[in-house]
Structure 1
């Protein structure tokens, strides 16, 4: 078939099989646009929230009182929002993957458990000490602990003791088994050279098992030569000094057809080579209540709050397609 003007001739069957991963394996899906509603927000009459600022004596005391008390309340709210209730723990995971055509060649996920103690000025010289459990570890290959601060009690239980610090402290690291590593995004790069015209397409599709869609995803394509002419779809930013094309995708829907990024460029006869290297990189970062791997942190004793589990983050390491 034809994909963006790129014709697959005799390789039709092979490419058909390769695309099975984008259709059958992860299922089809509804068009995300079906869930968008066109609702018009009713505009309030008046001065958009400035109705209290009336003229005349009767309103003056009200405005003054609101200002005085309102400032206090706002200050209290800001303090409350940044105030720590106790030690906090979170997980930072970095996933790297390499796709060759549509096949996954390599994958790896490294996770780090961080402890954020109460600030030294609040806790004084008192050490932070408690036990915690790590759950959801069926896909973990190995754990490495920061032995000067953390000890392994067995059965997924750990004990941490450390002096207070202004910066988050890494206390535990782990890696996942490659075959059990979840991929947030599958990517495929297709390159075709027709005469002097080089056509490249990146296809991408989200893992529908993600709890939330990936947002603010950046795709970077390393070009083999500095282009004289360039045709891209959708719009992209060209960095000539780095020979890079960059696309910004606001959101990758969990279900639906694969997204496509296309570029065409003519080559000089001296640059024409079937082995021209074209590489794509993907960058993303996600923050939420759960980790990508499913690893989670629990208090050692049910119902006891020795620490607070705050938002975790996972991000791309070296995530490439070629």
Structure 2
């Protein structure tokens, strides 16, 4: 356990303190210290073995907190102590990338509000997914290219980032996290996977059907089908939506609805086996009482 740096450096003095002062601890305090000590020992061993991925998430979280606390305590009064320095020492990111869902681009007001909230603590990046806003749309489309786009944005931002995705953007964020460690943490809001029979079934070739309508110039039908079949908007609301000024803008990005369907995959089925391999800490958000 004689490490000059890293988790071992935290574990050794803690173990000495526990051994010297164990008789003075209350039972609950002793239990907490024992848990932290075991976390640090386990993490130190896992680091040496190159198997930190095998550690329980809660153990990794507690160890990270100990590392951050130790770094801060050693540098109190240092004018260079700031969130960026702490993040660099703990090998975490202070960057947050936002990934929007259907019909939206980086100017989306909901994403702008999320960015404003996060910007108190993080450097926030928003980008236009391909086929919308200021981004290009090189054919042919493939989900892998969208994942590469996301990774390229993270690369330009500094190499790693936490990622927030909403709706189908959440599904894209999950796909990216499955193939690149540049995504360090995830927060996903309502990825629209179908996990039971409570949602109406979607055709297995939904993306292909929408693509055929786009090719035929029937953009309005693409929007209608996506809204009714994927977003579950009641048919009774469509007439009012068609008369709204935003309908033309929705038709303008109708081709990207094919991309959303491709990201979700056949029938919007949850890719459980693939997502089970994720090692990044992930927060899944769901709610039906938002003021929006």
Q: Same fold (TM over 0.5)?
A: no
Larger Rg: 1
TM-score scaled by length of structure 2: 0.20
TM-score (norm: length of structure 1): 0.18
- Greater helix fraction, Structure 1 or Structure 2: 2
Structure with bigger strand share is: 1
